[in-house]
Chains A and B, each alone.
Chain A
Amino acid sequence: MCLDDQILNTYLDGELAEPFKSQVEEHLGYCNACRERYQKLQNLKKTIDDAVLSDEDIASRQENVMKMIENTCFKRKKIPFFKRQLRINLPAFATVAAAFVFVFVGSIVYINKESNAFIPANVDNPIDESNVNLVNEKSQKTIDDYSLEEIINSLDKRGYTVDLKLKSVEPVKFEE
């Protein structure tokens, strides 16, 4: 039985495993028809192979592509973080800086204002300007604000008789 083209092609490509390879070689040794067909396939393969792109054409293109890769890929290779060039967008940077200063100063003012409020322990309402009355700003005077002489004069004017006694001092009694 003769060999089919698929087996001959596989043999031609050196891909036929043993024992089939030896069997094919043996068959080709005595079968003229198969040997002739095998030679035709060999010629066909050679014709196809000969149409390959020439090394000269490849070499020039290889050089071109490498130059392009050197100028693009290799140059934009990743740079370590600390070696990177710092590029800043000036308007954006100024805006961010202004916003930061505004927030920073504002927060300091607010914190200082809050810390002025003195809150004693066990006191519900903190003491601040609204609920503290300074002594010199009192609207009404109390009895402590007047001297003894002023009090006596005031009472005398109103028709009261005032009898003054000092504690721990016995009144002097004169014998008649």
Chain B
Amino acid sequence: MEMRSGDEAAFRQVYEQVFPVIMKVAFHVTYNLDVSEDICQDAFVRFFDKNMVFETLDDAKFWLIRVTKNLAINQIKRKARETASLEKLKQVTPTSSYKDGASELLFQESTESVRKAVAQLPEKYKTVIVLKEYAGLDYQQISKVLSISESNVKVRVHRARKELEAILRREDS
């Protein structure tokens, strides 16, 4: 069903479904909640203002993910020029779903080390792993968003995991 991004009802429908996805994308690229919120806001304002026609909801979702990913990457490049990467990692907001103190500490350590490892990945691997693991896209969808072949996505996912594993192992030892 065709939809127009400037139509309020259609916009709300897309927003409900896509906001969590692009928020995860923005967050796992920048690892800063406030910056991620600004990026999502920027992406949705552009989406509304451009008043584009999309064939399906998925097309709108891919457009938003692509814009968010680009905004987030631009943001970290800008940030990298200003501050050191370790400063960014201090801004990571820990989640609080664990009530037991010991396990919460363990969870935070694990979460933080994974996020730190993801932040260290080269841009092309980071993008693919974020879209795969956090945005929940399959290889075909990732290839559409990034305009690369599916086999290229497959290779990048494999290399990204390999690199993450190496970083996490180094940190453990």
Write the residues of chain A forming the contact surface with B, with a CB cutoff of 8 angstroms: 5-6, 9-10, 13-15, 41, 44-45, 47-58, 61-62, 64-66, 68-69, 72-74, 77
Contact = CB atoms under 8 A, between A and B. Distances in A.
Contacts of B23: 53, 58, 61-62
Contacts of B162: 5
Interface in B17-61: 19-20, 23-24, 27-28, 33, 36-37, 40-41, 44-45, 48-49
A164 B79 CA distance: 129
A52 B24 contact: yes
A66 B129 CA distance: 28
Contacts of B132: 13
Contacts of A5: 158, 161-162
A54 B158 contact: no
B138 A53 contact: no
A61 B111 CA distance: 20
Chain B interface residue count: which class?
35 or more
B89 interface: no
A44 B167 CA distance: 12
Chain A binding surface, main DSSP class: helix
B114 A48 contact: yes
A53 B154 contact: no
Contact of A47 (B6, B37, B96, B110): B110
A80 to B, nearest CB: 14
A10 B157 CA distance: 9
A53 B133 contact: no
Nearest to B165: A44
A65 B41 CA distance: 6
B8 A51 contact: no
A64 B41 CA distance: 9
A48 to B, nearest CB: 5
3 smallest beta-carbon distances between A and B, as pairs: A51-B114, A54-B95, A6-B158
Contacts of A10: 154, 158
B158 A57 contact: no
B139 interface: yes
Contacts of B158: 5-6, 9-10
